[in-house]
Structure 1
Amino acid sequence: MKAIIGRGLFLSFLFIGIAAIYIYCLLNLPLKESWFAFYKLKFADVPLGILILNTSLILGWGIAIWTASLGRSKEKAIEQRLTDLMDSEKIGDSNKRFSPRVDRAIDTVSDVIVTQRKSLQRITDERAEAQDKLIQERIVQERQRLARELHDSVSQQLFAASMLLSAITEQGGDSEAQKPLRLVERMVQQAQLEMRALLLHLRPAALNNKSLAEGLEELLVELKEKVTFDIRFRLEEVELSKGAEDHLFRIAQETLSNTLRHAQATEVNVLFVERDGLAIFRVQDNGIGFRENDGKGGSYGLQNVKERAIEIGGSCKIVSVPSQGTIVEVKLPTRKEEDPNDQDTTSG
Structure 2
Amino acid sequence: MTAFIGRSLYLILLFITITVAYFYLFLGLPLKDGWRIFVEATYSEVPLGIWILASCILLSGYLSFWMGSIAKAKEKAIEKRLRDVVDSEDIVKAKKRFSPRIDRTLEDISNVLVTQRKSLQRITDERAEAQDKLIQERIVQERQRLARELHDSVSQQLFAASMLLSAITEQGDPDNPKQKPLLQVERMVQQAQLEMRALLLHLRPAALNNKSLKEGLEDLLLELKEKVTFDIRFRLEEVSLSKGAEDHLFRIAQETLSNTLRHAQATEVDVLFVQRDGLVIFRVQDNGVGFKENEDGKGGSYGLQNVKERAIEVGGTCKIVSVPSQGTIVEVKLPARKGEERNDTDSISG
Which residue in the other structure is 1:343 paired with? Answer: none
Which residue in the other structure is 2:345 paired with? Answer: none
Q: Relative to structure 1, is the Cα distance of residues 296 and 49 closer, same or farther in structure 2, using a 3 angstrom cutoff?
A: closer
2:306 to 293, 296, 304: 304
Deviations 1:243-266 (A, max 9, x none): 221111111111101111111111
Unaligned ranges ≥5, structure 1: 339-348
Which residue in the other structure is 1:277 paired with? Answer: 278
Is residue 105 of structure 2 the alignment partner of residue 114 of structure 1?
no
Shift of 1:162: 0.2
Helix, strand or coil for the counterpart of 1:162? helix
Alignment check: 8 A CA contact 1:318 1:327 kept: yes
Helix, strand or coil for the counterpart of 2:12? helix
Q: Which has the larger displacement, 37-46 or 198-207?
A: 37-46
Q: Which has the larger displacement, 220-229 or 32-41?
A: 32-41
Alignment check: 8 A CA contact 2:290 2:324 kept: yes
Deviations 1:46-81 (A, max 9, x none): 432122111111222222222222222212211111
Which residue in the other structure is 2:192 paired with? Answer: 191
CA distance in 2, matches of 1:109, 1:204: 50
Alignment check: 8 A CA contact 1:283 1:329 kept: yes
Shift of 1:95: 7.2
Q: Relative to structure 1, is the Cα distance of residues 48 and 337 closer, same or farther in structure 2, using a 3 angstrom cutoff?
A: farther
CA distance in 1, matches of 2:305, 2:191: 24
Alignment check: 8 A CA contact 1:265 1:285 kept: yes
Shift of 1:43: 4.1
Q: Which has the larger displacement, 38-47 or 6-15?
A: 38-47
Deviations 1:278-321 (A, max 9, x none): 11000011222233249983421212211211222111111122
Which residue in the other structure is 1:146 paired with? Answer: 146
Shift of 1:335: 2.0
Query: What is the number of residues matched between the two proteins?
Result: 338
Which residue in the other structure is 1:326 paired with? Answer: 328
| RMSD of aligned residue pairs (Cα, Å) | 2.0
Which residue in the other structure is 1:317 paired with? Answer: 319
Deviations 1:193-226 (A, max 9, x none): 0000000111112322222212111111111111
CA distance in 1, matches of 2:91, 2:74: 17
Which residue in the other structure is 2:49 paired with? Answer: 49
Which residue in the other structure is 2:71 paired with? Answer: 71
Q: Which has the larger displacement, 23-32 or 193-202?
A: 23-32
Which residue in the other structure is 2:344 paired with? Answer: none
Amino acid aligned to 1:156 = Q
Helix, strand or coil for the counterpart of 2:271? strand
CA distance in 1, matches of 2:267, 2:19: 118
Helix, strand or coil for the counterpart of 2:227? coil
Alignment check: 8 A CA contact 1:317 1:329 kept: yes
CA distance in 2, matches of 1:187, 1:123: 54
CA distance in 2, matches of 1:208, 1:48: 105
Percent identity reads 76
CA distance in 2, matches of 1:57, 1:296: 89
Q: Which has the higher helix share?
A: 1
CA distance in 2, matches of 1:90, 1:63: 40
Map residues 192-211 of structure 1 onto 2, 5 A cutoff.
Answer: 192-211=193-212
Which residue in the other structure is 1:213 paired with? Answer: 214
Unaligned ranges ≥5, structure 2: 341-350
Query: Where in structure 1 do 4 or more consecutive aligned residues deviate above 3 Å?
Result: 42-46, 90-96, 293-296
Helix, strand or coil for the counterpart of 1:317? strand
Alignment check: 8 A CA contact 1:84 1:91 kept: no
CA distance in 2, matches of 1:200, 1:215: 13
Alignment check: 8 A CA contact 2:91 2:111 kept: no
